[in-house]
């Protein structure tokens, strides 16, 4: 009986459990409240601005504005570098404010103003996003969204009339949207000459100010008054289009811009050393400026003459008269083989008086090493006339339309004359040949031809090469033809291909002093080329 009672009890438990589950489910469904509705899910685009801000009060710019990029890597960088940036920024701030404090203490008869403590705290600023602009100028424009809720400790001690007062800035909060422009971009580290900073909107600045231990910001009405004064003053100084410029290096020296023209007249040579075994030498002169990558200029060859006369004139573009020198080398021309060097000498440009012609008779040396005993041997003399003509600068007549620097104009009353035409080939886009695309640029002007380097297999080449043409008079009626050509591979059956060309009237360049444009290439489907032309008067 015990066995049967156990079996029946097990089946009774199973049946009772099953029936209980069925009845419970039925009661749950039957007595479910009818006033409960499913929540309505609305997409974010249907919500208004106020509702979004209440739901998400700290929405970063890269979420709200698709033009802003997320830059978490920069926040990590600043966080790691902040202890060192804190010290560097505070040190720079002390150096900047030192002359300002000295000027105002004397003005208001204050004994001294000193920083008792100056630290930006342990909390670095954060960047909510960054917008980057690309232009055709030599510049980089960035707009970071900056938020800083810091814990600085800035204590200033003021002593005047035998009294001492202490002011302390704490709990600083700054929300700002600055525009930072690095320009002009130059090929020398740090690769930009100056930093220009503007504010795109009035900043939000909140802080606590303790004076003799009491928090002044707790005074009713004073907080709002101080906020408005700060916003107004900062906006008056730095709200766009007003700019704070911080020079990093001299753009003229960084870019090695032309500063003048050197007129050289190769007059004659006398008593040149005979280099040929049979007959006399066939001399000619090579001349170039040091630190210049342009090819040397040459005189004509005077056959069988040890006392040749040339009276040939040359113009060279000067970029740094303090360090450059005119290098003159006399060669004996040979029909076959290497030309023999007769002798050489140099003329430092710093020894020349501007706009004054200097006639020099130079002894020719084997080398410019003063300790070389071979220089004791007489090799002949070379007579030259040189004149350094710097570009004229009008202090009151400066055109700053050039974003990459300043273009100097001649002052009023300067007679019209020649000058320097500068052509900068920046880049090309969407150029393509039928059989190959190894583009280079050929510039044709007044019978002269210049070429850029060729770039292999590239439809969007970037050259960034500069060419200079010395003009006796303004080329206001001239045109310049610029061609993009594809160089064929060294091994192959195809010849070079023309990828497009453009003809530029130079009247606009002469009148405006500078143009920087992208031109559509003729005979090209979609090709464009960016060119910058400048006119510098002499």
Q: Residue 128 domain-assigned?
A: yes
Give CA–CA dist 39/510, Å, rounded.
71
Taking CA atoms, 305 is separated from 174, 284, 328, 358, 368, in Å, by 80, 10, 18, 26, 25
Q: Convert the pLDDT of each residue in 120-176 to its tens digit.
A: 888 898 888 888 887 777 788 888 888 888 888 888 888 877 777 788 887 788 888
Task: Identify the band that residue 403 occupies on the pLDDT scale cut at 50, 70 and 90.
Answer: very low
The CATH number for 358's domain is 2.60.40.150
Residue listed under structure tokens 């050929």: 442
pLDDT averaged over every residue in the chain: 79
Q: What angle do CA 136, 138, 142 make, to 5 degrees?
A: 85
Let me know whether 329 and 454 are in one domain: no
pTM assigned to the model: 0.56
Q: Residue 381 domain-assigned?
A: yes
460 or 41: which leads in pLDDT: 460
Q: Convert the pLDDT of each residue in 279-306 to its tens digit.
A: 678 889 999 888 777 778 889 888 888 8
Q: Residue 24 domain-assigned?
A: no
* Statement: residue 268 has pLDDT above 70: yes
- What pLDDT, on a 0 to 100 scale, did the predictor assign at position 411? 35
Which DSSP symbol is given to 385?
E
Let me know whether 472 and 532 are in one domain: yes
Let me know whether 239 and 278 are in one domain: no
- What pLDDT, on a 0 to 100 scale, did the predictor assign at position 405? 40
Task: Identify the band that residue 402 occupies on the pLDDT scale cut at 50, 70 and 90.
Answer: very low
Buried b (16+ CB within 10 A) or exposed e, 128-145: bbbbeeeeebbbbbebbb
411 or 275: which leads in pLDDT: 275
- What pLDDT, on a 0 to 100 scale, did the predictor assign at position 54? 67
- φ/ψ of 293, rounded to 5, equals -90, 0
Sign of the Cα torsion 306, 308, 314, 320 reads positive
Q: Residue 29 domain-assigned?
A: no
Task: Identify the band that residue 441 occupies on the pLDDT scale cut at 50, 70 and 90.
Answer: very high
Task: Identify the band that residue 484 occupies on the pLDDT scale cut at 50, 70 and 90.
Answer: very high
Give CA–CA dist 533/187, Å, rounded.
19
Give CA–CA dist 116/122, Å, rounded.
18
* Statement: residue 456 has pLDDT above 80: yes
Q: Residue 472 domain-assigned?
A: yes
Let me know whether 195 and 313 are in one domain: no
For residues 270 and 264, the answer to whether their CB atoms sit within 8 Å is: no
Q: Convert the pLDDT of each residue in 419-429 to its tens digit.
A: 888 899 999 99
For every residue of 59-121, DSSP letters joined together read --HHHH-TTSBP-HHHHHHHHHHHHHHHHHHHHHHHHHHHHHHHHHHHHTT-SEEEEEEEE--
Let me know whether 244 and 271 are in one domain: no
Q: Which of 66-80, 215-229, 251-265, 276-290 has the lowest mean pLDDT?
A: 215-229
* Statement: residue 401 has pLDDT above 50: no
Task: Identify the band that residue 538 occupies on the pLDDT scale cut at 50, 70 and 90.
Answer: low
Let me know whether 441 and 326 are in one domain: no
Residue at which a domain ends, from 232, 252, 272: 252
Q: Residue 4 domain-assigned?
A: no
Q: Domain tally for the chain?
A: 3
Let me know whether 339 and 218 are in one domain: no
Q: Residue 276 domain-assigned?
A: yes
- φ/ψ of 122, rounded to 5, equals -100, -5
Let me know whether 198 and 293 are in one domain: no
Let me know whether 270 and 345 are in one domain: yes
Tokens at residue 372, please? 């070389």
Residue at which a domain ends, from 371, 390, 409: 390
* Statement: residue 238 has pLDDT above 80: no
Residue at which a domain ends, from 204, 235, 252: 252
Q: Residue 219 domain-assigned?
A: yes
Summarize the confidence of residues 390-403 as an average pLDDT. 46
For residues 329 and 364, the answer to whether their CB atoms sit within 8 Å is: no
Q: Convert the pLDDT of each residue in 51-83 to its tens digit.
A: 766 666 566 665 666 677 888 888 899 899 988
Let me know whether 383 and 428 are in one domain: no
Let me know whether 154 and 170 are in one domain: yes
Range of the domain at 213: 44-252
- What pLDDT, on a 0 to 100 scale, did the predictor assign at position 394? 40
Let me know whether 237 and 269 are in one domain: no
* Statement: residue 453 has pLDDT above 50: yes
């Amino acid at each position: 009986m015990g066995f049967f009672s156990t079996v029946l009890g097990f089946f009774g438990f199973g049946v009772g459990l099953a029936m209980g589950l069925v009845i419970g489910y039925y009661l749950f469904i039957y007595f479910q409240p009818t006033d409960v509705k499913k929540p309505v899910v609305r997409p974010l685009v249907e919500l208004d601005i106020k509702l979004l801000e209440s739901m998400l009060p700290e929405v970063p710019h890269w979420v709200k504005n698709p033009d802003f990029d997320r830059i978490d890597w920069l926040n990590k960088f600043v966080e790691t570098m902040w202890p060192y940036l804190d010290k560097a920024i505070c040190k720079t701030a002390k150096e900047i404010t030192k002359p300002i404090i000295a000027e105002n203490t004397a003005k208001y008869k204050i004994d001294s103003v000193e920083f008792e403590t100056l630290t930006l705290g342990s909390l670095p600023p954060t960047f909510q996003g960054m917008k980057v602009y690309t232009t055709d100028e030599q510049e980089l424009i960035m707009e970071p969204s900056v938020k800083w809720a810091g814990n600085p400790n800035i204590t200033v001690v003021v002593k005047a009339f035998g009294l001492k007062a202490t002011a302390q800035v704490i709990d600083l909060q700054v929300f700002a949207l600055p525009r930072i422009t690095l320009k002009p971009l130059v090929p020398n580290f740090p690769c930009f000459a100056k930093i220009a900073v503007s504010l795109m909107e009035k900043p939000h600045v909140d802080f606590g100010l303790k004076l003799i231990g009491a928090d002044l910001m707790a005074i009713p009405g004073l907080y709002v008054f101080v906020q408005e004064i700060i916003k107004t003053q900062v906006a008056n100084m730095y709200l766009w289009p007003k700019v704070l410029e911080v020079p990093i290096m001299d753009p003229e020296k960084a870019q090695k811009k032309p500063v003048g023209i050197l007129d050289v007249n190769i007059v004659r040579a006398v008593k040149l050393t005979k280099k040929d075994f049979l007959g006399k030498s066939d001399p000619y002169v090579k001349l170039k400026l040091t630190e210049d990558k342009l090819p040397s200029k040459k005189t004509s060859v005077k056959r069988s003459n040890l006392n040749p006369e040339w009276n040939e004139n040359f113009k060279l573009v000067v970029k740094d008269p303090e360090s450059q020198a005119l290098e003159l080398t006399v060669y004996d021309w040979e029909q076959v083989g290497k030309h023999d060097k007769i002798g050489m000498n140099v003329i430092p440009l710093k020894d020349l008086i501007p706009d004054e012609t200097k006639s020099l008779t130079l002894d020719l040396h084997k080398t410019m090493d003063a300790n070389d005993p071979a220089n004791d041997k007489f090799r002949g003399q070379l007579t030259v006339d040189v004149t350094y003509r710097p570009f004229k600068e009008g202090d009151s007549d400066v055109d700053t339309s050039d974003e990459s620097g300043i273009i100097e104009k001649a002052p009023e009353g300067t007679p019209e004359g020649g000058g320097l035409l500068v052509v900068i080939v920046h880049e090309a886009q969407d150029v393509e040949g039928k059989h190959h695309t190894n583009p280079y640029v050929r510039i044709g002007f007044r019978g002269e031809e210049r070429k850029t380097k060729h770039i292999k297999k590239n439809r969007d080449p970037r050259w960034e090469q500069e060419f200079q043409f010395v003009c006796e008079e303004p080329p206001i009626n001239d045109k310049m033809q610029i061609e993009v050509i594809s160089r064929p591979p060294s091994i192959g059956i195809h010849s070079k291909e023309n990828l497009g060309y453009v003809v530029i009237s130079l009247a606009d360049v002469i009148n405006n002093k500078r143009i920087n444009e992208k031109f559509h290439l003729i005979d090209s489907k979609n090709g464009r080329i960016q060119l910058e032309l400048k006119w510098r008067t002499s």
